[in-house]
């Protein structure tokens, strides 16, 4: 059994032989056509026609095609082939094939599914890749001295039909193909190349044109590629900015290079900041964009330079450097020829310079007045710094603040600068952070860029005025002052109602304090004390402090603050901040009187020698609940005591209580002498003086004697009043009752 492919090839060979005989008959006339087509895939007959077998691909723009079935040896004209579907369905194929011919299959049977014996597929010709390469990488610029071994490379879809012709034009537009391409100027197969040598040409811009080398040279197929040759001295370096703020990144570009080449960019150590470490110097060049390596070079223990190795991508290489490690001065940036690190300094290709300016450093808080012992937020901005250190100055010395309150002055006290150049450390107690700010007075406070500090903590915990000023720094003035203390004890009428209102509310302000101590002392030596926390706004408030264990009678209340030094008294173990509450509460089990306990509290705190403690005291009584009606009068005529009220007038009832309005309500009833209730009024609003009042209407009352009774749930009081027909005023204005 004969294989179809083998048979087809055999027929093709036979048919080719016939074509050769025909060609001999017509002499050399067919030679040019044969040279233009891809002879590995197609051949011509004696009529200068390119022979195409069934099932093959043809391209828009082709002409002089002969459609012959190699197996049946039957030949067809283009018009016998019709489109099989879409816009081309039923439309004959034209010859030459138009450059805008509908692509797809054309068959002798047209749209019929049956095999008509011959078909071709029309395809749009395209050059998909057209470039000049060096070492298999495309380039757009190269030094003339290195342009002797270039390749003109193309990928295209029509190599079954013909190759790609290459034309090279010089900067003036002249065709110099024969001078710069040695050998064929046709790329026969897609994905291959022809050699190009521009090393003998003048530096300039050259254009390489790609097009089909026979019929396929229409505009849609033609591609162009531009390559520029330069002298070696054209490699240059520049920065994106002429001046930058210390700490910012600056971009640099190496131009004029050859794709894939490697260059070294350096900054000399004399442009580094003082005291820079090797690790910090390694961070000067950033490993970004076209950078393939960064580092520093040292000799004899000293830094020589920082470097970045960049690889040219096309004609340029882009990199970036961080100026935080550079001095605030003019900085030189150098680029060297292709080399490994360290570079050969004799091969310097170009250099450029840019200005590094010291960034602004500000301290926004704390400045101005500071209450000793209070917590503050330290914040500001630092354009050039990664970290800042905060210092306070007394006389001629600056001392580092222990901002993390760990009793050690070290790198942990530095404050990091965020990407937006701001820094902040919250809730720092400056009294604890610096002994300088624990005393009243005017002081200097400032921030320093950590990069300008010595490496050793022993050398940066204090700075002289000169050291502080020479560093990147800022200074402000701060006034340390002692805080004050206020307190309010929520009593009613100077009393607390025993057993029903056993709790008391205490509030106030204590600037510069985290906590205060509240203490209560009864006349029999009963005590109660507790600590109250102070909020960030220096206020404190504690509700429902229990007084149930303190006996009835006179009581004193006290709020104590350790004030500026943060210690009660002299810091004695029994009276220090940690133990004072337990000490005061311990008096309840002693035999001391209230006066003795109060004397002891004062002598160990505010009256202690050299003490700066603060105290606010008050006196009140713990009594049984009380309620009384004091005044009854017509609303239109205020008067003390119990006064007659005319029918139709509004009666005002006033009294006092020692109950807390949060815990009680007072109900006032108007009763007949037979205890029948006529009206009721109530209130739960009265002030700390315990004075309350209600009003009642007498319009529906008859004249006579009535009872007014007040009740708060624990206590009652009642009085008799007279409702009269009409009140009569005496000559002196005194109400005399009926006329």
The two tokens of residue 278 are 């090797």
18 to 25, 46, 72, 161: CA distances (angstroms): 11, 9, 14, 21
d(CA 700, CA 136): 115
Same-domain status, 490 and 533: yes
Number of domains in the chain: 6
Assigned domain for 729 exists: no
Assigned domain for 447 exists: yes
Last residue of a domain, one of 623, 654, 671: 623
Lowest mean pLDDT: which of 34-48, 588-602, 628-642? 34-48
Classify strands 716-724 and 645-646 as parallel, antiparallel or unpaired. Answer: parallel
Same-domain status, 402 and 464: yes
Going by pLDDT thresholds of 50, 70 and 90, the confidence category of residue 88 is confident
Going by pLDDT thresholds of 50, 70 and 90, the confidence category of residue 41 is low
Please state the rounded mean pLDDT for residues 332-358.
81
Distance of CA 646 to the CA centre of its chain: 77
Nearest one of 40, 83, 101, 46 to 68, comparing CA atoms: 46
Side-chain-facing half-sphere of 178: CA atoms under 13 Å: 2
Please state the rounded mean pLDDT for residues 583-591.
92
Average pLDDT, the chain: 88
Classify strands 527-533 and 650-657 as parallel, antiparallel or unpaired. Answer: unpaired
d(CA 235, CA 315): 9
Of 437-441, 563-567, 650-654, the range with the highest mean pLDDT is 650-654
CATH number for position 272: 2.60.40.1930
Name 427's Cβ contacts closer than 8 Å, sequence gap at least 6.
375, 376, 377
Last residue of a domain, one of 101, 123, 145: 123
Backbone angles phi, psi at 428, to 5 degrees: -100, 125
Same-domain status, 188 and 239: no
For tokens 């290079």, name the residue: 257
Three-state secondary structure string covering 31-74: HHHHHHECCCCCEECCCCCEEECCCCEEECCCCCEEEEECCCCE
Residues 539, 543, 548, 554: what is their CA dihedral angle, to the nearest 10 degrees? 50
pLDDT in tens, 192-223: 999 999 999 999 999 999 999 999 999 999 99
pLDDT at 587 over 60: yes
d(CA 107, CA 57): 12
For position 44, what pLDDT does the model report?
74
Same-domain status, 159 and 73: no
Rounded to two decimals, the pTM is: 0.54
CB 412 within 8 A of CB 439: no
Nearest one of 614, 637, 638 to 566, comparing CA atoms: 614
pLDDT at 260 over 60: yes
Same-domain status, 510 and 615: yes
For position 261, what pLDDT does the model report?
84
Residue 24 parent element (H or E): helix 4-26
For position 736, what pLDDT does the model report?
55
Going by pLDDT thresholds of 50, 70 and 90, the confidence category of residue 6 is very low
Backbone angles phi, psi at 611, to 5 degrees: -75, 145
Same-domain status, 60 and 152: no
Same-domain status, 283 and 374: no
d(CA 357, CA 246): 5
Same-domain status, 308 and 224: no
Last residue of a domain, one of 88, 123, 158: 123
Same-domain status, 587 and 716: no
At CB < 8 A and 24+ separation, what contacts does 424-427 make? Answer: 424/377, 424/378, 424/379, 425/377, 425/378, 425/379, 425/390, 426/377, 427/375, 427/376, 427/377
Name 453's Cβ contacts closer than 8 Å, sequence gap at least 6.
275, 389, 459, 460, 471
The two tokens of residue 117 are 């014996």
The two tokens of residue 487 are 């307190």
For position 455, what pLDDT does the model report?
66
Classify strands 150-156 and 361-365 as parallel, antiparallel or unpaired. Answer: unpaired
Assigned domain for 736 exists: no
Assigned domain for 248 exists: yes
Assigned domain for 523 exists: yes
Domain hosting 149: range is 127-230
CB atoms within 10 A of CB 111: 14
Assigned domain for 700 exists: yes
- Residue 508: left (phi > 0), alpha (psi -120 to 50), or beta? left
Please state the rounded mean pLDDT for residues 112-124.
85
Same-domain status, 462 and 365: yes
pLDDT in tens, 650-708: 999 999 999 999 889 999 999 999 999 999 999 999 999 999 999 999 999 999 999 99
- Residue 236: left (phi > 0), alpha (psi -120 to 50), or beta? beta
The sheet with strand 243-245 has its strands ordered as 243-245, 348-357, 330-336, 262-268, 302-311, 291-299
Name 618's Cβ contacts closer than 8 Å, sequence gap at least 6.
487, 489, 491, 556, 557, 558
CB 222 within 8 A of CB 210: yes
Backbone angles phi, psi at 330, to 5 degrees: -80, 125
Nearest one of 506, 505, 594 to 553, comparing CA atoms: 594
pLDDT in tens, 612-658: 999 999 999 999 999 999 999 999 999 999 999 999 999 999 999 99
pLDDT at 535 over 90: yes
Lowest mean pLDDT: which of 243-247, 428-432, 593-597? 243-247
Considering only CA atoms, give the Rg of the chain. 52
Same-domain status, 139 and 217: yes
d(CA 570, CA 728): 71
Same-domain status, 402 and 442: yes
CATH number for position 598: 2.60.40
Backbone angles phi, psi at 450, to 5 degrees: -60, -30
CATH number for position 210: 2.60.40.10
- The pLDDT > 70 percentage for the chain reads 91
d(CA 488, CA 483): 17
Assigned domain for 737 exists: no
Going by pLDDT thresholds of 50, 70 and 90, the confidence category of residue 232 is low
Assigned domain for 734 exists: no
């Amino acid at each position: 059994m004969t294989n179809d492919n083998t048979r087809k090839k055999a027929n093709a060979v036979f048919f080719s032989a016939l074509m050769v005989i025909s060609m001999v008959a017509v002499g050399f006339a067919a030679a040019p056509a044969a040279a233009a087509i891809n002879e590995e895939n197609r051949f011509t007959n004696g009529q200068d026609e390119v022979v195409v077998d069934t099932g093959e691909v043809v391209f828009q723009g082709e002409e002089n095609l002969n459609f012959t079935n190699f197996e049946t040896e039957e030949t067809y004209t283009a018009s016998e082939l019709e489109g099989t579907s879409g816009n081309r369905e039923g439309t004959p194929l034209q010859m030459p094939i138009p450059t805008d011919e509908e692509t797809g299959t054309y068959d002798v049977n047209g749209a019929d599914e049956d095999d008509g014996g011959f078909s071709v597929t029309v395809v749009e010709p395209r050059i998909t890749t057209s470039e000049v390469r060096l070492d298999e990488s495309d380039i757009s610029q190269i030094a003339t001295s290195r342009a002797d071994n270039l390749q003109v490379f193309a990928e295209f879809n029509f190599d079954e039909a013909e190759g790609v012709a290459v034309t090279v034009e010089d900067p003036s537009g002249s065709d110099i193909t024969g001078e710069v391409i040695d050998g064929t100027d046709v790329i026969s197969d897609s994905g291959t190349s022809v050699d190009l040598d521009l090393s003998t040409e003048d530096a300039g811009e050259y254009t390489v044109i790609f097009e089909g080398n026979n019929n396929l040279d229409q505009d849609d197929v033609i591609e162009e590629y531009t390559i520029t040759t330069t002298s070696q001295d054209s490699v240059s370096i520049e920065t994106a900015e002429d001046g930058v703020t210390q700490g910012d990144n600056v971009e640099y570009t190496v131009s004029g290079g050859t794709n894939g080449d490697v260059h070294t960019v350096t900054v000399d150590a004399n442009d580094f900041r003082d005291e820079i470490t090797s690790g910090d110097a390694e961070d000067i060049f950033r490993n970004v964009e076209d950078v393939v390596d960064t580092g520093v070079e040292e000799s004899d223990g000293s830094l020589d330079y920082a470097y970045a190795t960049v690889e040219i991508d096309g004609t340029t290489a882009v990199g970036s450097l961080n100026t935080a490690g550079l001095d605030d001065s003019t900085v030189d940036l150098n680029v060297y020829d292709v080399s490994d690190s360290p570079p050969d300094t004799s091969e310097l290709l170009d250099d450029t310079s840019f200005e590094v300016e010291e960034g602004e450093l500000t301290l926004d808080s704390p400045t101005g007045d500071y209450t000793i012992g209070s917590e503050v937020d330290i914040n500001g901005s630092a354009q050039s710094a990664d970290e800042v250190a905060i210092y306070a100055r007394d006389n001629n010395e600056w001392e580092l603040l222990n901002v993390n309150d760990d009793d050690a002055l070290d790198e942990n006290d530095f404050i990091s600068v965020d990407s937006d150049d701001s820094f902040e450390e919250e809730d720092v107690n400056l009294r604890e952070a610096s002994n300088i700010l624990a005393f009243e007075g005017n002081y200097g406070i400032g921030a320093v860029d950590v990069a300008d500090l010595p490496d050793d903590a022993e050398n940066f915990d204090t700075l002289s005025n000169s050291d502080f000023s020479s560093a990147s720094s800022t200074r402000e003035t701060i006034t340390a002052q002692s805080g004050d203390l206020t307190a309010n004890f929520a009593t009613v009428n100077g009393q607390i109602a025993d057993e029903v209102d056993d709790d008391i509310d205490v509030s106030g302000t204590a600037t510069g304090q985290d906590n205060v101590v509240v203490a209560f002392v009864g006349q029999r030596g009963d005590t109660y004390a507790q600590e109250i926390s102070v909020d960030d706004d220096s206020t404190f408030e504690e509700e429902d402090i229990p007084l149930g264990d303190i006996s009835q009678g006179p009581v004193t209340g006290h709020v104590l603050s350790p004030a500026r030094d943060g210690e009660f008294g002299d810091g004695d173990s029994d009276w220090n901040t940690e133990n004072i509450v337990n000490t005061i509460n311990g008096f309840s089990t002693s035999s001391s009187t209230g006066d003795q306990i109060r004397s002891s509290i004062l002598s160990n705190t505010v009256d202690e020698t050299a003490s700066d403690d603060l105290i606010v005291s008050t006196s009140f009584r713990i009594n049984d609940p009380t309620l009384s009606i004091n005044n009854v009068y017509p609303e239109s005529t205020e008067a003390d005591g119990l006064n007659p009220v005319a029918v139709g007038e509004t009666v005002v009832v006033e009294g006092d209580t020692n109950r807390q309005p949060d815990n009680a309500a007072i109900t006032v009833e108007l009763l007949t002498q037979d205890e029948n209730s006529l009206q009721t009024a109530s209130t739960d609003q009265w002030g700390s003086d315990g004075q309350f009042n209600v009003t009642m209407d007498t319009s529906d009352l008859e004249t006579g004697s009535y009872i007014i009774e007040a009740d708060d749930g624990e206590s009652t009081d009642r009085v008799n009043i007279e409702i009269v027909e009409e009140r009569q005023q005496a000559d002196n204005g005194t109400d005399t009752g009926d006329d």
